[in-house]
Amino acid sequence: MNKLECIATLITVIEENGFSAAARKLKLSTPAISRQITALENDLGITLLKRTTRQIALTDPGLRYYEECKQIIHALQLTETALKSSQQQASGQLHILSNRYFADKFLIPRLPDFMQQHPLLTIKIQLAERFPDFRKEDVDLAFGISMEGPPDLIRRQVDLTRYVLCASPGYLQKYGTPQNPKELIKHHYITHTMRQPDNMIMLDNHQEILVKPILWLDDSRAMCDAAISGIGLVRLHDYVVQDALACGQLQEILPEYHQQTVPVYLYYEKSRFLLPKIRRFIDYYTAHP
């Protein structure tokens, strides 16, 4: 009996929550499904499933085997799909995750030309300020700022940005303008819920300054607005605050300590065979900084 076929059957049984449902999906008889699972258990010498008249459940070793095999089957499916389509045009839907400001500054302005070159491709852009679970969320690509990311991801630099520490003129008039990094600890600070640690400012000389957050937000635009309203200091990327700085709603603080640029990366899953839609996007956006 084909072991790979038995593994695929096991995965289907779990995902369909039963032998009968798996049999219907695979167009096999329920006894045939049962024989494949039994053959797999006999070959491994372990019990994979706890069976009752009403339900099935994975044993502990069964759960481990299922999770590992599911990753293997997923990788095999990606490889087969990529091989079959390696000579084809980019097509299908490309799912991209980006924060709003980077999408406005870098991603969307270049889309018309890219989409004109690839008319069979549709694009779904999700605006969020977090790192996605690529496999669970079916994300193809994600933009991020200077994050290592998991080891199963590849990152390619596509742009540079700089951190800016700033506050509103009203706040600085009320609480004073910090003249050196040590004075930052006396000030109110607006931070992002994703930052770890959320109470530290890293300066160019790798000096770490601990501050006192009084407001946590999960959106850069909201952080910028909170700073404009006078709540406290905020540290954001230059493209987030550049308009507010230009019109005087915010003032930069200690710019001499925030001169170094940080990379903006494009992340995607590590794979020997990239789908044409992913490869074309990577090639285009890394060639047009």
- Give me the pLDDT at residue 60, please: 92
Q: How far apart are CA 144 and CA 38, in angstroms?
A: 46
- pLDDT tens-digit readout, 239-271: 899 999 999 999 999 999 887 888 889 999 887
pLDDT score, position 148: 67
Looking at the predicted structure, is the pLDDT value of residue 137 above 90? no
Q: How confident is the model at residue 276 (pLDDT cuts 50, 70, 90)?
A: confident
- Which pLDDT score, from 0 to 100, does residue 81 have? 72
pLDDT attached to residue 223: 96
* pLDDT 10s digits, 143-175: 988 666 677 889 999 888 899 999 999 999 999
Q: What is the pLDDT of residues 12-49, one digit of tens each?
A: 999 998 899 999 999 999 999 999 999 999 999 999 99
pLDDT at 86 over 80: no
What per-residue confidence (pLDDT) applies to 110? 92
Identify the structural domains of the chain with CATH numbers, from first to last.
3-85 (1.10.10.10), 92-159+264-287 (3.40.190.10), 161-262 (3.40.190.10)
CB contact at 8 A, 178 and 184 = yes
Phi, psi of 147 (to 5 degrees): -110, 140
H/E element holding 217?
A: strand 212-217
8 Å CB contact between 182 and 203 = no
192-218 pLDDT, tens digit per residue, is 998 888 999 888 877 889 999 999 999
Report the C-alpha dihedral over residues 237, 243, 245, 247, rounded to 10 degrees.
Answer: -170
Question: Helix count (H) and strand count (E) of the chain?
Answer: 11, 13
